[in-house]
Every structure is written in structure tokens, then in C-alpha cells.
Amino acid sequence: MRTQVGIIGAGPAGLLLSHLLHLRGIDSVVLETRTREQIESTIRAGVLEQGTMDLLTEAGVGARMKAEGALHHGFELAFEGKRRRIDLTGLTGHSITVYAQHEVIKDLVAARVAADGALRFGVSETSLHGIDTDKPSIRYRHEGEACELQCDFVIGCDGSQGVSRASIPQALRRDFERVYPFGWFGILCEGPPSSDELIYARHDRGFALISTRSANVQRMYFQCDPKDSVDNWSDDRIWAELHARVDSHDGHHVADGKIFQKNIVGMRSFVSATMQYGRLFLAGDAAHIVPPTGAKGMNLAVADVRLLTKALNAFYVENRMDLLDGYSKTALKRIWRAEHFSYWMTSMMHRIEGASPFEQQLQVAELEYVTTSRSAATVMAENYVGVAVPQD
């Protein structure tokens, strides 16, 4: 089989890139190890920046996001028994939408299917060949048969455990990583919203996040030991912990509900400063990972895709290689800004094991500053909605 762009991974990055290339008349094939049902049912949270919202709308896949997503014009920071609001729209003129990542995937898959896009689910034994030449190929097995996809470019959107990043010679890779000594205990529950907007809570017991999935389903997290087990946490214990960390002195309380899902996720920061090698280009989690505190994961993937779409279009329409040659350097500007913001939010909001009372008070002082200084709040708001980060 022959195509112009071979894409490995049917997450938001791979699917969106395939759709955007299609709109520009560029052919692609998307290869995915999981089934369609698996990628559409893997529940992951989603906070979409203004730029992500705009791009999905421009691409014609934003209708359900607008109809079912929750448009938020701000969020709350809870600390010392009080809540203070960061007015995103008032400070920046922009907003965010809470819309789960798997819902974005459903919209993108539907768009690719409607356009007769080439999607191959359930592939295995994927390997890359000739990526340092102008005739790369991807070999894989699909429905029991050995297959080879010849293409002009390979785009690795297959996450941190995929084959793409590992195909770059180790001697040429430059990776940066920070593993955090805490994780997030996440729950999904049936019940009313606790707030109209997201609540980020800093407490001496640890961080907590209150989010709304829908009018009847809520998503909540609290900081925990990443080696802990969900079996150690009864529903009553979970609610007691969330109330202790989030309830405010002025009578605002977390709304309890029936918990129907529990999980624990670890947290780390990672950047591959080598996002390209020959005709291979990395995007999304294959190239970078951020802790979820800053809500940047999917938005960084979309930003990568925006750059790649422009660069590939320049190659096919104008026979230009300069944007592809500069892809890694350009993308890393935004990535490191987002990494810093996520690290800053994480460090300010979480209980740091071994932190002295002095260091704990510094966290409170910083929260006081960003919630009382318009300039400081604007910096936070600009980074959160994404408009202050260079795109290209």
C-alpha cells in the first residue's frame, strides 16, 4: 500500500492530523493497535484551550463539543478555607471547554469514516524502516496478514510506549524527565455538580481537583501515594478526604454521589528534545508528557498537529522543506512553556513530602499573590487558555 503520510496512533493527534491533511487534499493512513471500541471508550478528562476549540471548529468537528461540552470562563483556586476565582475571559478575552478526550476521539473517528479515511485498527508488530531516507515505510500485521505501508513521511502519534520514539537512534535522542513522588486518585460519580467551574484546591493534606463531566456525572481527583491501591479507599473515606481538602469556610461543600469508577494515575513530566529524525516526526505523548495539573496534555498534541499540518502542506503545495526541518525547534518553544506552567501549578498546589512549614507558607503566599494581583492572575489565565504561547 502507498500513501503520502503514514500516521501511527489513533489518538487525538493522529486522527486530527489525518483529518486536517484530508481537508488539504493530502492522503494519509492511520494505524492503531487498539480497536475502535477501545479508543472510544477509554475515559480521559479533557480541558480544551481556546486554540484547540477554534481548530476543531475550523476543521468541522466541533459541533458536538459546542453542544455538549461545558464552556468555562474561569476556574476557582481553593486554599486556606476560601475560594478565589481566576476570571479567564475577563483577563484574556478567551475561555476553555471541558470536553472529555474520548469524546473528541469519537468526533474525529466519525469524521474520518464519513470521508472514507483509511483507518486500520487492531494492527500489531509495527516497525519503521528507511526513516532516514526519502522512502520510509511501516510494516505491520493486520487481520492476520503481513502488510507494508510505503509513504513520504511517518508521523509517530503512538504515545510514550509506542515504536516511533524508540525508532530514533539512542545516540541522537535527548530526553528530559521528572517523575513526581505523588499521584492522583480519580473517581467518577453520579450526582450534581459541586461548582459551575473547575476547583483546584491546595490543602495541607494534599491537592484536590473538582471537575464536571455532565449535569449528572462528576470527575474528582485528590493527591495520593502512586503506589496506593483503590482497594484501600472506601467510598466514605474518599468523601471524607475530598470534604477535608475542598470545603470552604463560607459554606461551599463538595456534593457527594454514587462512585462508579476509581483509579490511581502516576504523574511525570517528559520531553524528547529530538522530535524528528529523517522522515519521522513525533507528536503528542510520543514526544512529551505533562502532569495534568496544567491541563495541557491534549492541547500540546493539537499544537503539534497544527504545526505539522502547515509544514506538510508547504511541502506538497510549495515543495518547501524548511517548516518540516524546523518543526522540532518550533514545537519545543510551546512545549517547554507548557511544561513550566504545569510544573509551576503542580508545585504550588500539591503537598510536597518533606516540605518545611516555611516552604508550605510559600505556597500559600504564592496563591495569595496570583489571586489578588491582576498582573499575576493574567499570567496564569493566559497560560491556562493558551493564547500567550507561541504557535509557530
**Catalytic residue from among 136, 277, 292, 310:** 292
Q: How far is CA 268 from the centre of its chain?
A: 13
Catalytic hit among 99, 180, 200, 327 = 200
Q: Respond yes or no: is residue 316 known to be catalytic.
A: no
- pLDDT tens across 82-139, in order? 999 999 999 999 999 999 899 999 999 999 999 999 999 999 999 999 999 999 999 9
DSSP annotation string for 93-114:
S--EEE--HHHHHHHHHHHHHH
Q: Which of 37-41, 56-60, 273-277, 286-290 has the lowest mean pLDDT?
A: 37-41
Mean pLDDT of 211-217: 84
User: Which residues of the chain form beta strands (DSSP E)?
Assistant: 5-8, 28-32, 47-48, 70-72, 74-79, 82-87, 96-98, 118-121, 124-129, 137-142, 145-150, 153-156, 175-190, 199-202, 208-212, 217-224, 258-272, 276-277, 280-282, 288-289
d(CA 277, CA 283): 13
**Residues 10, 69: Cα–Cα separation, whole Å:** 22
Q: If DSSP codes are grouped into helix, strand and coil, which group holds residue 282?
A: strand
Q: Is the pLDDT of residue 391 over 50?
A: no
Give the chain's domains with CATH numbers: 5-72+96-176+268-354 (3.50.50.60)
Q: Which range is least confidently modeled, 34-48, 51-65, 102-116, 168-182?
A: 34-48
Average pLDDT over residues 349-353: 95
Averaged over 23-33, what is the pLDDT? 98
Sheet containing strand 70-72, edge to edge, reads 47-48, 96-98, 70-72
What is the crossing angle of helices 297-318 and 12-23, to 10°? Answer: 30
67-80 pLDDT tens trace: 999 999 999 999 99
What are the angstrom distances between the C-alpha of 45 and each of 69, 164, 209, 308? Answer: 12, 25, 12, 25
Residue 369 known to be catalytic: no
pLDDT digits (tens, 9 = 90+) for 226-237: 999 999 999 999
Residue 292: active-site member: yes
Q: In sequence order, what are the residues at sequence separation of 6 or more whose Cβ sits closer than 8 angstroms to the Cβ of residue 351?
A: 182, 203, 204, 205, 206, 207, 223
Query: Which pLDDT band, with edges at 50, 70 and 90, does 215 fall under?
Result: confident
Question: Please, which residues have CB within 8 angstroms of residue 358's CB and are 6 or more apart in sequence?
Answer: none
Give yes or no for residue 389 having a pLDDT over 50.
no
Q: What is the pTM of this model?
A: 0.93
From the candidates 19, 22, 72, 310, give the one annotated as an active-site residue.
72
| pLDDT score of 212 more than 90 | no
Instruction: Write out the three cell numbers for 175.
Output: 530526553
The one catalytic residue in 296, 310, 327, 350 is 296
In 258-369, beta strands by DSSP E: 258-272, 276-277, 280-282, 288-289
